[in-house]
Each structure stands twice: as structure tokens, then as C-alpha cells.
Structure 1
Amino acid sequence: MIKRNLLVVGLAVMLSACGFQLRGTGTSEMSVKEMDVSARNAYGPTVIQLREVLERSGVNVHAGAPYRLVLTNEQERQRAVTYNSGNRTAEFELTTELDYSIHGLNNLELTSDKVEVRKVYVRDASNITGSEQDAKRARDEMRRDLVNAMVVRLQNLTPAQLDELQRKADERAKAEADALEAARRQQAETPQQSPLEVPGN
């Protein structure tokens, strides 16, 4: 018994040394220490949970942060994947996609991508209440998985990477501004053709 306990403790120490954490047992520190988080649905459960997880990870989430994570769109799809012979029960696959972008100084978009999670649950036509509870439980688990996946994406970003993305975004914005200015100047310098005058009879 003592040997087994020591083995479990030793395994836990080794995994924690590698940076591994079981889902729901804690959070990992993030290298980005300040970030604003916004969404189309500002009071939706996904953005609220994400803010909470980021704050537990040591991120100062506030409106004046140098970087802003924008949850641009969250979509859910459902499809039947299996039926039984009497169509009384069926397995349904839920898919949730979360589109996001990260903005930097001058509200320039630095990067954009999406995260996706899937889960299968069983719906029993003879137990509608139980099936609805299973579906709600599946959606709650998917939201946690979605937030965890989003946090993993953010953990892979370093301030140096964000600075480089900001530099490239600044260069793109300057090139676009220069092109617009050149087009405006060219238009201003181009002589305007006078309307054709028709001599009187």
C-alpha cells in the first residue's frame, strides 16, 4: 500500500515538473500578463468563463490592456450520427466553433483563428427530460473545453511574438495609408477636363 502511494506521489511530481495539469485542478501561468477580452455577447457564459480562467492564470484583464482578445463569433451545430432500429434513441454530435481575433495598438488586428470542440450525447425519445439534461450537460462540458482550448492558444503566445505581429500590422497599416495618400495626391494633380462647350448658332 505504501509503495503504491509513493508511486502515485512520484508520478504526480514528475507530471507537474513537466508542466502537466489535470483539467479543472489548476491553471498555468501565462507569459502575456495584460489583456482585454470582449465579445459580441458581452455577458455570455463563454466570455465570462474565459475572463475568470485568464484571471486565475495571472492575467490582468482590463479595458486599457495593450492587447485585446475579441470573440467574434460562436456557432453551434448538431447532427444525428446513429439511430437504433426503432428510432427511439439516437446519438447526436454537437460541434461548437469559436472565431476570435487579437488586436494590438491602434486597434490593429494582429492575428485571427478559431477553436472547435465536439461531443456526442444520446437522446432517448422515451425520456425527453433526461435527454435534455444530457444535452445541457454536454453543452456545459463543451464550453469548458472551448475555454480551455482558447487558453492553450493564448499560452502559446509570447510578448515577443505579439510584438512581432504588432510590427507587421503597423507596416501593413502604413503601406495602406501611403497608398491611399499617393492615390489622393495623383487625383489632385491630374488636370480636370473642362466640359465641352458647344458654340451657339
Structure 2
Amino acid sequence: MIKRNLLVMGLAVMLSACGFQLRGTGTSELAIKELDLSARNAYGDTVVQLRQALQSSGVNVYAGAPYKLVLTNEAETQRAATYAGGSGRSAEYELTTVLSYSIEGHNNTNLLNDKLEVRKIYVHDGNNITGSQQEATQARNEMRRDLVQNMLVRLQLLTPGQLEGLQQKADERAQAEADALEAARRAQDETPQQSPLQLPAN
């Protein structure tokens, strides 16, 4: 028994040393250490759980951080996965949630846009409405946890250096657009304006 416990502990240490982590046993450190977080629904379950997960991952989440993660939209759809022929029969429904997000840099410059999508099927029993509603609620809670977990995985792929590179490209685009507008304005100012046509009086 002791040998088996030592073996399990040894495997756990080896796996953690390789960066492997079992789902639900904790969170991995992110390279991004400072991040602002906002959402259309500032007090929604998704943004609240994501803030907690980021903080557990060693991220200092605060307003005014160099980069901001914005949850721009969270949309849920539902469709029948199987058809129930008569009333009172069970049917499967597929829930889909799409979370659109963006990352903003200095001066609210948009650095990237992307989205996450999760799906889950639950059973609706026409003879047990309350139980079906509870199952649907549980499915939605699981999908939200999946969204938060997937977002952390996406953020783990980003480094401060990559964000700085995106910021530099965004600044260069903004400067090029500003220069083009200024050149167009100067060209318009330097173009002689034609006098209105004077019609002879009768």
C-alpha cells in the first residue's frame, strides 16, 4: 500500500514537472501577469468566474492594466438534437454558447479579436419538467466552466512579447492612417476652390 502511494505521488510530481495538470486540480501560471477585464454584463457569471480563475493563475486583474481582455458578446443557442414524437416523451437538446472577445492595448487599441465555442447535450423529459430544467442549468454551468478553462488555455499561449508586437503593429497602422488623413486634408487645402458661377441678371 505504501509503495503504491509512493508510486502515485512520484507520477504526480513527474507530470507536474512536465507542465501537465489534471483538469480541476488547479490552474497553470500565465506569462501575462497584469490584465484588465471587462464585459458587457459586468456582473455576469462568466466574467466573475474568469476573474477568479485569472487571479488563481497569478494574474493581477485591475483597471488600468497595460492590456484589457474584453468579453464583447456571449450568445447561447439551442436546437433539438433528437425528435420526440409525442408529448411527454424525452428529447435531446444541444446547447451552444459562443463567447466573442477582444484584447485591447494602450489607448484602447484593438490588438486581436477571437471567439470560443462550447457545446453540450442534455435530455428534456416531458414527464419531469423540474428535473429537465435542473439538467439544463447544470449543462449551462458546465459549459461556462469550459469557457473559462478554454480562455485560460488561449491566454497561456500569449506572452507579453507577443502583445508588445501586436501593439507595435497597431500603432504603426494607426500612424499610417493618421498620416494619410493629414495628407488628404493638406491636398484639399491646397486645391484652389472654384468660385460659384455668376449668372447674368435679366
Question: Do they superpose with TM above 0.5?
Answer: yes
Residue 79 of structure 1 is matched in structure 2 by 79
Counterpart residue number, 2:130: 129
Q: Tell me the equivalent position of 2:94.
A: 93
Measured on the aligned residues, the alpha-carbon RMSD in Å equals 1.3
Q: Matches of 2:109 and 2:20 in 1, distance apart?
A: 34
**Structure 2 residues without counterparts, runs of 5 or longer:** none
> 1:11 deviation in Å?
2.6
Change beyond 3 A, Cα 1:151–1:188: same
What percent identity do the matched residue pairs reach?
73
CA shift for structure 1 position 190: 1.1
Q: Which residue of 1 aligns with 2:21?
A: 21
Equivalent residue letter for 2:113: S
- 1:191 equivalenced with 2:192 (yes/no): yes
Q: Distance in 2 between matches of 1:159 and 1:65?
A: 12
Equivalent position of 1:38 in the other structure: 38
- Aligned residue for 2:82, secondary structure, equals strand
1:134-153 matches, cutoff 5 A = 134-153=135-154
Which residue of structure 2 aligns with residue 69 of structure 1? Answer: 69
Alignment: residue pair count: 201
Instruction: Give distance in 1, aligned partners of 2:168 and 2:119.
Output: 36
Shift of 1:127: 0.5
Q: Provide the rounded CA distance (Å) in 2 between the counterparts of 1:85 and 1:176.
A: 59
Deviates further, 99-108 or 77-86: 77-86
In the alignment, what sits opposite 1:47?
47
Aligned letter for 2:19?
Answer: G
More divergent stretch after superposition (62-71 vs 14-23) = 14-23
Secondary structure of the structure 2 residue equivalent to 1:120: strand
Deviation (angstroms), 1:102: 0.3
SS class of match (2:52):
helix
Question: How far apart are 1:3 and its partner, in Å?
Answer: 4.3
Q: CA deviation at 1:164?
A: 0.4
Q: Which whole-Å CA distance do the structure 2 matches of 1:121 and 1:17 have between them? A: 37
What is the TM-score of this pair, normalised by structure 1? Answer: 0.95
TM-score by length of 2: 0.95
Q: CA deviation at 1:14?
A: 2.4
Cα offset for 1:82?
A: 1.4
- Deviation at residue 8 of structure 1 after TM alignment: 2.5
Unaligned runs of 5+ in 1: none
Counterpart residue type for residue 41 of structure 1: N
Superimposed CA distance per residue, residues 27-68 of structure 1 (whole angstroms, 9 cap, x where no aligned partner): 111111100000111111101111110011111101110000
